[in-house]
Structure 1
Amino acid sequence: MPAPSADWLHDRPQIRTIRAAACDVNGVARGKRMPIPSAVKMLKDGTRFPFSALNVDIWGEDIADSPLVFDSGDRDAILFPTERGFVPMPWLEAPTALLPIWMFHEDGRPFEGDPRHALSFVQKRFAEKGLTPVVAVELEFYLIDDSTRRLQVPISPRSGKRRDAAEVLSIRALDAFDIFFTDLYEACEVMDIPADTLISEAGIGQFEVNLMHQADPLKAADDAWLFKQLVKGLARKHGFAASFMAKPYEDYSGNGMHAHFSVLDADGKNIFDNGGPEGTDALRHAIGGCLAALSDSALVYAPHLNSYERIVPGSHAPSAICWAYDNRTAAVRVPSGPPAARRIEHRVAGGDVNPYLALAAILGAALMGMEDATEPPARITGNAYDQDLPHIPRDWGSAIEAFADSPLMPRIFPKELIRNLVLTKRQELRDMDELTKHEQMDLYLDTV
């Protein structure tokens, strides 16, 4: 991908301001607003803000015991544009562009606490072996009327009615918000987000969009990160909310981010394809790696208190550590289809995840499994919820400590990223006790 250029701005004189932003450990955009001349200068010189800015809690507060804050003098990092370049922000009233950036040390070393660098490190490990992961994600979200304390589906702009009913694969539900979804697809096109099919899901006002596969995990994660910002911003422009939080409604399914991936060799051949439905040894070992790391990496897939309300039996989200062919109750699924498209679907992550960390965890675990020739347990058949299987950590505290103590996570993530995420989540766990259920809901609704 070519380096960002000022020509993009010269060709779009209507753009008046820029947001330069990086992704923090919670997936929240942190950055600055600047005029056009400052943005042009930044293409060469970068910009600065503290290392600690990518390691704040979900409220945007410093981590009290982080060595990035007072112990180090709250030093500045330097941030440069990513390969993505300028991206329009169609949900704002004034013509504006976002410039995604990522964090480095003064001497040019990547800052190992930056989530985008964590995924880049995993991608480079694949490249060193002559391998290329091909990745696609599916993102679920709710459209919500949050104008009162009781969350509910918004009134349809077309009918003027509110229909409190779950409508799986309903065209009527899609048509009820056709104006919003038309604007969404147009915005995805101008932002270079490859939005594919859209369906209504099992919850009231719940929808899912598939993003097209990419032979570049960083591009796939960028797409997911930008898509979440777009959906939330555009919904507000239309007079309601959109949320990717894991479980906004107690009685309806939660939001997931399902990741599909295959791996190509240097000749462009899918190494999971053996010409039949069962797949290759590489497929089996990648599954083994994903399952072996699943308990320790659960914090990445379920990073918030609300996340654990989604990972319960019978909730359309996997709760057991298992795999299967074409079975959506399993944590890791091998979809049916032509052998050339043989792939793995990792179904554990909630919609509230940081996409960079989630894809780093998934691909890093798969690579670890292939390196170690990890054999998975026997595949399951039937309903995973009804079987005696090892369980994904059932609560936030257990997941935090499993991630902190894991011997496997340092094989996937830099130690600095592990430390920063653990400190962040321990602080959030402590402070969340002070909030009522309604205050927790209000916090997560917009931030994740």
Structure 2
Amino acid sequence: MVQLFSLQEYLSAHPEVDRVEAFVSDVNGVGRGKWLPRQRALAISSKGLAMPRSIFALDIWGRDVREAGLAYGTGDPDGLCWPIAGSVAPVVWADRPTAQVMLTMRDGDGAPFYADPRAMLGRMVERLNAKGLFPMVATELEFYLLDDMAARPSSRDSGQVLSIDALRSVAPVLDAIEDACRAQGVPAETIQREYGAGQYEINLRHIGDACLAADHAILLKRIVRGTAVRHGRIATFMAKPFGAQAGSGMHVHVSLLDRAGKTLFADEAGGESAMLGHAVGGLLSTMADAMLLFAPHANSYRRFSRGAYGPVTASWGYDDRSAAVRVITGSPSETRIEHRLAGADCNPYLALTAIFAGMLAGIDGAIDPGPRHAPSSHGHGERSLPLDWSPAIAAFAASDAMADALGTAGRDMVAACKRQDRDELLTRVPDTEYDTYLATL
């Protein structure tokens, strides 16, 4: 167990550290912040760290998004960012003694800033808690480990799912990832080889702090990428980096407890509770509107195809990995939901916010989940999902449910950022179109 320190305590205990990486996570889950010398870092716990409020509303290239309303026409003012308690940790892959600290932005009155994705999740958790609902959460993240940016996986390397020998072949990198997780307090439990060539998955432990669970997912991505570079490799959490290989998802395991810590998804006899079914029903009813938060990029939609483990309908089933929502039963403490729709490229704060919003809507409205998914049906007769980026943006932008989940201003900011991403990509003609059409048409 990693002991939790304040930034001052950590730096006092580690006089060798002369640099601190201080960062927030933007709408894409990308870390945005500053390198601070030791003495400047010591001041941020009492004075905060000023950064533009527009830092959250950036497109995928890191540019301001005019329609988000946080930069253009406002003077682009600063907000104050404050350290997240217990988030200071060593950056073990850095070349010089470096620590990192996660930040969150607050308004002048001390309230969480509406555009901070972590604040959006925090508000949703508060709504759950106010109703006596306390989530237990864990994430599972898939990624590809490559030799370099131009690498393509070999077909002979695919299909080695759960191969111990495949893990051993990259043991130095995976060992270093485990060591970094331990140093940063990220509760990695298992590492496994996945279906794709060079694809791996790391599972994190269930915890009772949903914001911390999302922090862990953010930190795990940093650890994997930073460690890979340190070992001369490239790691990617793209949802579908290779068309003929498996996509990478972020599976979310969640259950709900009462104030006494007793599960609400199982009844006194150990069977499933009505609340479990209603939570599933709510997830399915809001899934199409929330699709943009689970699949936020153009590439995200390449992951969804019939006959694969990228769900194509709003569906549920018992221990069914082809469904969007997999219900796992066993002992009362093991009964939970596995949400399988999100890609590894999602922002964990926003994805968890959407999941909790769906569950809450189902519980409040006693929504029946309907018939369970039949794997052999390939989704026929089930509720459809927007499986293309533009319809997903449109559904999200018009959704009252998403306005309720993120706040209207939060929903509109996310939609504006994604529209700018889409509009920019529409101006870029890919090489495949030149290869296909240029000399023929």
SS in 2 for 1:175: helix
Name which of 83, 105, 108 aligns with 2:107: 105
Cα RMSD (Å):
1.8
Residue in 1 aligned with 2:26? 24
Do the aligned partners of 1:133 and 1:263 also contact (CA within 8 Å) in 2?
yes
Mean CA deviation greater in 101-110 or 201-210: 101-110
SS at match of 1:20: strand
Task: Report the CA distance between 1:391 and its aligned residue.
Answer: 2.1
* 3-state secondary structure, aligned to 1:141: strand
Alignment of 1:430-445 (within 5 A): 430-437=423-430
Paired residue secondary structure (1:6)? helix
Q: CA deviation at 1:340?
A: 2.7
Distance 1:438 1:141 in 2: 25
Q: SS of the residue aligned with 1:71?
A: coil
Label 1:147 to 1:342 Cα distance change in 2 as closer, same or farther (>3 A): closer
- Cα shift at 1:163: 5.6
> Is 1:304–1:396's contact at 8 Å kept on the other side of the alignment?
yes
> Which residue of structure 2 aligns with residue 172 of structure 1?
165
Give how far 1:147 is off: 4.4
Q: Which moved more, 1:123-132 or 1:325-334?
A: 123-132
Q: Does 1:318 align with 2:308?
A: no
Out of 332, 351, 365, the position equivalent to 2:358 is 365
Q: Does 1:423 align with 2:416?
A: yes
Residue type of the partner of 2:315?
C
1:80 is aligned to: 82
Give 1:28-47 correspondences, 5 Å limit.
28-47=30-49
Question: How many aligned positions are there?
Answer: 430
Q: Which of 94, 98, 105 pairs up with 1:92?
A: 94
Output the TM-score relative to the length of structure 2.
0.94
Deviation at 1:380, TM superposition (A): 2.2
| Residue 263 in structure 1 maps to residue 263 in structure 2 | no
Give the 3-state SS of the residue equivalent to 1:383 in structure 2: helix
Deviation at 1:87, TM superposition (A): 1.7
Distance change >3 Å, CA 410–CA 384, structure 1 → 2: farther
Matches within 5 A, 1:68-217: 68-148=70-150, 150-152=151-153, 164-217=157-210
Distance 2:141 2:40 in 1: 34
Matches of 2:203 and 2:269, distance apart in 1: 26
SS in 2 for 1:65: helix
User: Does the 8 Å CA contact 1:6/1:40 hold for their aligned counterparts?
Assistant: yes
**In the aligned structure 2, how far is the partner of 1:189 from the partner of 1:326?**
31
Alignment correspondent of 1:304: 297
Structure 2 contact 315–324 (Cα < 8 Å) conserved: yes
- Whether contact under 8 Å (1:21, 1:29) holds in the other structure is yes
Amino acid at match of 1:69: A
Q: Tell me how far 1:323 sits from its aligned partner.
A: 0.6
Q: Distance in 2 between matches of 1:117 and 1:8?
A: 25
Counterpart residue number, 1:157: none
Verify the 8 A CA contact 2:373 2:379 in the aligned structure 1.
no
Structure 1, unmatched stretches of 5+, are 154-161, 440-448
Change over 3 Å in CA distance of 1:256–1:241 after alignment to 2: same
Change (3 A) 1:277 1:378: farther
Read off the aligned partner of 1:406 and give its amino acid letter: S
Could you tell me which of 380, 394, 410 is aligned with 1:401?
Answer: 394
1 CA distance for matches of 2:181 and 2:431? Answer: 32
The separation in 1 between residues aligned to 2:426 and 2:347, in whole angstroms, is: 23
CA deviation string 1:272-319 (max 9, x = no partner): 012567511110110011001000000000000000000121222111
Q: Tell me, in whole angstroms, the C-alpha distance in 1 between the residues paired with 2:404 and 2:379.
A: 33
How many angstroms does 1:438 deviate by?
Answer: 6.7
Q: How does 1:326-365 map to 2 (within 5 A)?
A: 326-365=319-358
Q: CA deviation digits over 1:45-98, x for unaligned, max 9?
A: 101111111101000001123321121111111111112331211121112111
SS in 2 for 1:369: helix
- Rounded to whole Å, the distance in 1 between the matches of 2:424 and 2:311 is 28
Preserved contact between residue 303 and residue 353 of structure 1 (Cα < 8 Å): yes
Matching residue of 2:437:
none
Q: CA deviation at 1:2?
A: 7.1
Per-residue deviation at 1:339? 2.8
**Partner of residue 438, structure 2:** none
Partner of 1:64: 66
Contact 1:135 1:217 in 2 (8 A): yes
Deviation at 1:411, TM superposition (A): 2.1
Structure 1 pair 360/84, CA: closer, same or farther in 2 (3 Å)?
farther
- In the superposition, relative to structure 1, how do residues 42 and 328 fare at CA in structure 2: closer, same or farther (>3 Å)? same
Q: Which amino acid aligns with 2:111?
A: R
CA displacement, residues 216-264 of structure 1 (integer Å, 9 cap, x when unaligned):
0011000000000110111111111111100011011100000001111
Q: Could you tell me which amino acid in structure 1 is paired with residue 152 of structure 2?
A: L
